[in-house]
Structures are given as structure tokens and as C-alpha cells.
Structure 1
Amino acid sequence: MIRALFSTFAVLALFAAPAMAQQRAVAVTFDDLPYQAADAILCDPEASMALTTRFVDMLRPLDTRAAVFVNEGKVCEAQRADLLPRILNVWLDAGLELGNHTFSHINVHRTTAEAWLADADQGAVITRQVLKARGQRLHWFRHPYLFTGDTPEKKAAMAAGLAERGYDVAPVTIDNNDWMFAAVYRQAEAAGDEALKTRIGEAYVAHMTTVLNHFEPYSAELTGGREPAQVLLLHANSLNQDWYPQIHALYLARGYRFVSLGEALQDPIYAHADDYVRAAGISWLHRWTSTDGRPIRWEPEPPKWITDAYAAL
């Protein structure tokens, strides 16, 4: 009897050991809500709701605990007041968090910090109302293009303005250029080329593996060998509608647990200073590396056939 119990516990310990030793965690985020799609689709209530429902239904059983970031201006003005709350409530009903991604996905390098902050304010109007109706507060903010300021003065003004408005910035550590794959994927969709869609999707998942092979050890260099909780940047689009489940499975296979954005940002690495000032949107891992005075080791580019196809669009 004792030997049988010992054997049972030994087997359970064998299977539990990887989970118990697991230190990897990732917060999944999706930008560009309601969806990366043509303007005509986002101004069609039936089509917009169908896209939203399909995407959320895909995510729901995976328990991603994702945060999603809204560009309110994506919905045309004539439909916005009625349609956008309906869309956002679908995401909230699934237990996902909402954040502000500005009204028009504004490029701060082409304007002033003051105009950029005004666009951020405009992008919060409906999202804030929807959250308030549920007793929640809008506090997450994601920079469009991950641009945080191309001069020290602009960066400081942007950061101060967001802080005054009570925002918590959502950084990104893992970016795999899914937007590039997605643009090529939409072209294949429009052509009805299912074989090409499959080729693009498989390349997308394979590229995520390559990106993780780079970022996992790279991130550990900042923490003395411990991989910090990661924040993954993706976008709400047809590519992820079809292929995010494979991305999710990849992370599970590599030993990640899915955490909320708030939980990920409790990792001490997110208190690291960020002195990076350039006209580029890059991973916070690169920003922290640069701040520490060490050379940035850039992540791998997507396959050349993808970058060439994107350049030809």
C-alpha cells in the first residue's frame, strides 16, 4: 500500500515538476480595435459585430486574459455612438480589458505633443463611458506605433500628459511584426487564395518561434538570468482570427502561463528606467538595454518573401 502511494505521488510529481518550475508568463494584448479592416466594413453594424463576435469567440475558450486597445475613430462618425459601445461590450462580456490607443492612431512624429494628447483624449470618450457603466475606469494606454517621442522634450511632455490623465502605459516586450503578415494575408483573402493564406499563416507561427528564440534569452540578460513576464503585441485582424490559436498553443508548449497585463507589470523589470529617445517604436527590452548602455540586439526580420510582398502592396 505504501509502495503504491509512493509510486502514485512519484508519477504526479513527475508530471507536476515542469509546471511547478515554470517561471515564464505572458500578457497578450491586441491593438487597433475594433478591427484592422476596410472603413466600409467598420461602418457596417452587421459586418462589424460579426467580426467582433467571431474574434472574441475564438479567444474565449483559450483564456488569454487579454487587454485590447481601441482606436475610436475607426468607426465612422455616423455609426460611432451606437455601434462602438455594442462592440466594446462584446469584449468586456468575455472578461477582456479595454485600453485607449488614441482616436486616430496618430503619429506623434508628425505633430506636437499637445495635438497628440488631444487625440488621446478624443479616443477615450466612448470607451470611458462604456467602462464607467460597468463600474470600471479607463486607465490603460498603448502608444500608436510604440512611438514615445523623438525628442527628450516631446517624450517628457507626452509622459507627463498621460500621467496627469491617470493612464498606465502598456509597454511591449515581444513584437513579431504580425501587422506585416496580416497585410499580406488580407491580400490573399481578397484574392480567395486559400493556399497562400495557409503558407502565410504557417510562416507567421514559425516566425513567432524564431522571435521567442531571440527574446527569451535576451530578456534574461536584463534580470540576471531570469526571464521576466513578457507583454506580447498583436492586432485584431483576420490573420489572428485564423492563426492566434496556434500562437497560443506555441506559448503553452514553451511553458508560458497567460496572465493579465496588470499582473505582468508587477514584474520588477517594468520599473526599469527608459531613456530611449528615437523616432522608432521598439520593444521595451531594447529601450532598457539601451538605457543600460549596452548594444541592442535586434530581433529577426520576417521571411524575405513576406517583407517583399508587404513592400509591393
Structure 2
Amino acid sequence: MAPPQRCPLCRQTFFCGRGHVYSHKHQRQLKGALERLLPQVEAARRAVRAAQVERYVPEHDRCCWCPCCGCEVRKHLSHGNLTVLHGGLLEHLASPEHKKATNKFWWENKANAQMKEKFLISPQDYARFKKSMVKGLDSYEEKEDEVIKEMAAQIREVEQSRQEVVRSVLEPQAESDPEEGSSAPESWKATNGHVASSSQQVSHLALQPVAELDWMETGQQLTFIGHQDTPGIGNIHSGATPPWMIQEEEHSSGSLPIGPSYEEFLKEKEKQKLKKLPPDRVGANFDHSSNTSAGWLPSFGRVWNNGRRWQSRHQFKTEAATRSKQPRKGKS
């Protein structure tokens, strides 16, 4: 028996040796893996002649799975704020490690030899891609310069329009300033005269003598009326018990129980038990406080007290039979 081997494509262990690679399941898995990679390789081949350069976005960090090497490969090549589309995949396909792994993969899995060249990039094609990448970077920089120039022109236009608006607002004020200039000296003199007169008034008030008030010389004296303490009560300043402490003492000295009594607890416990029972049960709405005699119960009252119904039924029949036999014995 052949030793067990692990197939990475089928993801299972087989014991049939080299015959597993010829099975329909393995060939189907191999074809599916190559078909998943083939569209991405074809898109990368189209980028060899015309490399596309774009601004970096987080979506450019996507990777693709290479079944030949058994590892993930970055699709795009990013540096700073720029990204070269399909640059990472082309770099991987042109590497000698990928070529060696592809030859081994094709030999071990017995894949179609005509498809092997589709998953390889020659050094000439990769050199052509580098040249187109340089051209793409130059064209991208030119586009960026044009965009910057357009933005600068827009900024200049906005600034110019803003200055024109400010100038149009300030021109009417400049025309009205000469008319106000002739009356300015007169108003300045009037204000100076008003300030001078007000300063003279202040100095005149400052020179007037101010009568000093000495309340101690009036002869009035303060009267001591004594401590206002209520006899027998006191306050916290005289060493008496604070009122909040007195309330606690009253509550502690009282004999009032805290919480419900034991009888109330048992009643509440019974109520909780009754709540768990079905509300539509027999006797749920019975008024226990009503005055009723025992005559309303049926003769076989055992059904209402204890025991099973079939027991009470048999007992009722036996009792009825004994009652029917007793009169006959008396007559005889």
C-alpha cells in the first residue's frame, strides 16, 4: 500500500500514490484553480504595453493566490501616494522563483503543457513594462501639474473677485470722507472743551472738605441681651444632642417591628403559590368566606377531599349495594 500523501488542491489525503493526479476530481480542482488566476494574468499582460498609474487607495492592497507557488501575491505595486496597476503580479510572474515553481507544479499535477506559457512573463516583456511604467509616471505627473495649475487659477480668480467686492464697498466711504473732514476740527474742539470743563468740575469737587463720620463719638453704646437659649433643649453650641441624633434614638428605642410579620409572610407565600396555578382550574373563583353547609356536597364526597375518582366510584357502588341489601334483611 502506498504511503499517504496530502493534495493541496483537493485538500485531502490519498493512498493511491501517483494515480491521484489523474483522477477526475484532481483534474477538476486543477482546472478551477488555473481558471481563477488566468483572468488576472491576462489583465496584467495587457498592462505590459500601457502601464496605468493612479493615486493610492486602500483597495490597491488586494492580493491574489498563486497556486504554482502556494502563496499570496500583491496585485498592484504601490509606493507612497502612487500605485502602478498590476505591477506586483507582473513582477512575481517574471521572477525566476515563480518559473521554477511553475515547472514543478506542472510536472507534479500533470497539467496541460500548452497553458504553462500563459502563466509566465518573459524578461523582455517585463523590461517593456518598466519602460511603459516610466512613461506612465511622467504622464501622471504632467496631469497632476495641470490640475495644480487649474486649482491655482481658480484660487486667483476667487481672490480677485473678493478684492473687487471689498473695493466696491470701500469706494463710497472714501467719497463721503472729504465732506466729513471739514467738520472734524470743530467737533474735535467741542469735545476738548467738554473734557476740560468736566475735569475742572472734578477738581473742584476734590477740593471740598469731606465731613468725617465718627460713630464712636456719638455716645451710643451696644447693649448685651444675653444668650438666647431655650431651657431644657439646648443646641449644638451648648453641648446638647443634635436633633438628627435624637430622631435615631427615638427610632431605636421604639418597639415597632421592621418589615412584615411572620403571619403576613406566610399569607403572601400562599398567594404566590396560587398565582402559579392555572387561573381556569376548578374552584379557583370559589368564595371561601361564604357561609355554606356541608349538604351541598354530593354523597360521594371523597372526590372533593382525597383519593382517585375510580376509587370513590367503586366505594359509592359498594355503599349503595349495602344500603339496598339492608332493608331486604329487615323485611325478611
Q: Under a length normalisation based on structure 2, what TM-score does the superposition of the two structures give?
A: 0.19
More helix by share: 2
